[in-house]
Structure 1
Amino acid sequence: MKSITLMLIVCFCCFSINAQNLQRVTLGNSGSSTQITNSENTYYVSQSVGQFSVTGTLINGKNTIRQGFQQPPISVEVISNSNSDLNALVFPNPVDTFITVQFLEELKLPINITMYDVAGKIIINTSKNPTNSFKLDMALYSSGIYLLNLSSGNRKFLARLIKK
């Protein structure tokens, strides 16, 4: 009976000692974890791409260590199709009263015009027959930043306008 109790105590001590060495590991393409051991100490280093910190930074020669948090892997994929963009010029910017939109190609489909203010409210929503250029009157709008979205078929153009 004593030997079984002694064996259970030894097993419990082994498990509790090993349990203190568990370390969270980052897996994926946006970070890594490693264990560094020198003569006296063992360090666990875990990092993620894009990690920022306001709580602490240590700079030693070429190395910078920041205290922060682990981010999950994030993948961003940009899909570019040169046929989906309208070729257009918008001028003058900043605008006083009128802006001119000039297309650098011939359009065959109607042009949908939508303009948003900074709050995302639609202030212009109209369409025009295909044309090489047109003017928009912005004299009645207050000073600020506006987003102009033009589309013709599945092709789009987006411009940021500044109203004086």
Structure 2
Amino acid sequence: MSLTALLLLLLLVAAPIAATATAAPTAYEMLESFHFPEGILPKGVTGYELDPATGKFRADLNGSCSFALEGSYRLSYQPTITGYISDGRLTELRGISVKVLFFWLNILDVARVGDDLDFSVGVASASFPLDNFFVSPQCGCGLDCNDLRIRKLNLGNPSVSSV
């Protein structure tokens, strides 16, 4: 084997490995690095930016996104979601809202407390088990897509508190 052929072979083998090693993590992987499950974001994140110094982030979806979970909660995501992330905390969120009874309320903060996620809408908060968020919901149908149940959520009896 000539030296040129050997170098070409090495380049062909090394290029995919180098590309994989330098690939930026996805938004879902980034969430997991801050101890959040990927399912707090719906499928379809097209990109994100994160300032590691401040924790300020921006996540972009391919358009608006809404869906119901267990028929109890209706969630709506704007095409751009912003806020600040730190270990186990999302603060100053913009672009995510939940329908409670007849009112749409902005989700402002999310905190991981042990095996629960606490969602705050300002004057009230609700806690849900962490394992409800291991799968990302899909825009339009949530976790009940194509008449195939992806996973059962246990949202029937969340712990609700007032601040």
Same topology, TM > 0.5: no
Larger Rg over CA atoms: 1
Q: TM-score, normalised by structure 1?
A: 0.25
Greater RCO, CA 8 A, separation 6+: 2
* Greater helix share, structure number: 2
